[in-house]
């Protein structure tokens, strides 16, 4: 009892001491203004989401103003809520959004496609939740059922009328195109620029990375490191920071950041650990830049002296356009290839190899059904499907060579011994730490 009393007395003595000495412990806690707090809350929202929200709200405001003017001039086809926006309740929003989603049009007066209508509806939900701070769920609340029915009807009508959204999505990179990039010298390790482009290509393909923002954020000897395990040298990628698929927020608090490991392959020209080691050897000594990717030297004299890279990072936009720059000069390319194609190539290749959706998601970092958009059929898949249908569902006896043919010169340059058996890929998965190890046997 006396010990407890002493603890209480010491507690109040410490409180009194802090009151008489305000500077005591002042460095422990941050002091933020209201604007700074709001800035941190706004920073948690992706910039693209913020832009889409402003776009949807601007359309809603234009519709509301036009509708109000029509009523003032005697139009009685509908009524508007004549209250301040912050006073609108669930019934008001349900009524207005039902009218809005059925009447919304483009600037030229034509209808939006089904996907755009759903995006507008989603951004209005985001506006209500994050901007107006309203506890209203347009997707679930019973009071908003009319608005959901209107959206469903408008989407179905747009689809019946053939208003299908144009595809702007990137496509996976087939093995034949990758081989062509090597044959034509678009992928190589013979110059600073080509070495960096090749490293970006295989990092994106092996670790399912994205565009310029994620690549620009990679730090040297941090997210990507060479490690030795069980006598093997592995190139390890660890998500040491929040990404698009794992923002480390409340909803993803139980999802560990992914770790993917890549082993050596027989083809040293295309071996990711080998490419990475070569790039690291070419980095300038005493480099003060934390970014993994450095700007390449353009002077032949500097390159001949062994100085391949500058003490400066590559810009985000330059990194974001690498795959597009690699594939643009190729003739006969009709698909759209971007850095996102490398991520889709990773998912589609693993799916073709027979891995389950859950295992593929551990490599890509997905935690939802969004992984389905990354798994796409290629020509060989369609050939197998056609053969199975034509043969009445019997097991396919059609031998399909999915590996691209390589020229004799390319095989001699890469020192590939054709007598060796083909290597098999194996994925070792640790569910507790979300670690994936890709090993070629």
pLDDT at 161: 92
CA dist., res. 293 & res. 295, Å (int): 7
Q: What is the pLDDT of residue 4?
A: 62
Residues 6+ apart with CB under 8 A from 403: 175, 422
Task: Output the pLDDT for position 401.
Answer: 47
pLDDT at 312: 93
Q: What whole-number distance in Å separates Cα of residue 170 and Cα of residue 208? A: 14
How many C-beta atoms lie closer than 10 Å to residue 34's C-beta? 7
Alpha helices by DSSP H, 33-172: 34-43, 47-72, 90-103, 114-126, 145-160
The H or E element that residue 204 is part of is helix 192-207
| Separation between Cα atoms, residue 116 and residue 341, nearest integer Å | 23
Dihedral sign, Cα of residue 246, residue 248, residue 251, residue 257: positive
Inter-residue contact 43 to 130 (CB < 8 Å): no
**pLDDT, position 419:** 39
pLDDT of residue 414: 41
Superfamily of domain 175-382: Intergrase catalytic core (1.10.443.10)
Structure token digits, residue 205:
């393909």
* Strand, coil or helix: 428: strand
Confirm if 406 and 230 have CB atoms less than 8 A apart. Answer: no
Domain boundaries, the chain: 47-161, 175-382
Predicted confidence at residue 51, as pLDDT, reads 93
The Cα 57–Cα 132 span in angstroms is 12
Amino acid 177: pLDDT: 93
**What parts of the chain have a pLDDT lower than 70?**
1-26, 76, 78, 166-167, 241-248, 251-256, 368-370, 378-380, 382, 393-441
């Amino acid at each position: 009892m006396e010990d407890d009393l002493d603890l209480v007395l010491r507690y109040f003595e410490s409180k009194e001491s802090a009151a008489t000495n305000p500077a005591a412990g002042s460095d422990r806690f941050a002091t933020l203004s209201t604007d700074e707090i709001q800035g941190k809350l706004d920073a948690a929202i992706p910039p693209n989401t913020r832009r889409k929200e402003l776009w949807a709200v601007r359309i809603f405001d234009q519709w509301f103003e036009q509708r109000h003017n029509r009523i003032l001039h005697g139009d009685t086809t509908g009524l508007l809520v004549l209250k301040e926006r912050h006073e609108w309740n669930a019934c008001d929003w349900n009524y207005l959004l039902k009218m809005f989603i059925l009447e919304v049009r483009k600037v030229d007066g034509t209808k939006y496609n089904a996907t755009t209508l759903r995006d507008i509806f989603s951004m209005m939900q985001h506006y209500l939740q994050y901007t107006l701070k309203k506890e209203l769920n347009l997707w679930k609340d019973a009071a908003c059922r009319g608005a959901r029915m209107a959206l469903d009807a408008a989407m179905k009508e747009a689809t019946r009328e053939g208003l299908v959204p144009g595809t702007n999505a990137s496509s996976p990179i087939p093995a034949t195109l990758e081989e062509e990039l090597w044959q034509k010298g678009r992928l190589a390790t013979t110059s600073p620029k080509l070495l960096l482009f090749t490293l970006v290509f295989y990092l994106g393909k092996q670790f399912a990375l994205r565009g310029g923002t994620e690549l620009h954020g990679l730090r040297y000897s941090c997210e990507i490191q060479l490690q030795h395990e069980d006598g093997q040298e592995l190139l390890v990628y660890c998500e040491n920071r929040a990404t698009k698929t794992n923002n480390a927020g409340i909803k993803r608090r139980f999802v560990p950041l992914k770790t993917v490991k890549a082993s050596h392959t027989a083809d040293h020209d295309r071996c990711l650990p080998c490419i990475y080691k070569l790039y690291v050897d070419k980095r300038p000594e005493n480099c003060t830049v934390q970014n993994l990717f450095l700007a390449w030297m353009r002077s032949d004299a500097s390159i001949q002296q062994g100085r391949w890279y500058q003490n400066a990072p590559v810009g985000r936009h330059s990194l974001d356009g690498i795959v597009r720059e690699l594939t643009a000069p190729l003739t006969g390319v009709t698909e759209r290839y971007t850095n996102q194609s490398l991520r889709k190539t990773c998912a589609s290749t693993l799916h073709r190899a027979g891995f389950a959706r859950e295992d593929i998601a551990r490599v890509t970092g997905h935690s939802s059904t969004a992984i389905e958009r990354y798994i796409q059929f290629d020509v060989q898949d369609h050939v197998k499907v056609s053969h199975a249908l034509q043969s009445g569902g019997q097991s396919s006896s059609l031998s399909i060579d999915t590996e691209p043919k390589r020229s004799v010169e390319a095989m001699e340059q890469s020192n590939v011994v054709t007598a060796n058996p083909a290597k098999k890929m194996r994925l070792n998965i640790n569910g507790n730490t979300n670690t994936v190890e890709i090993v070629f046997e």
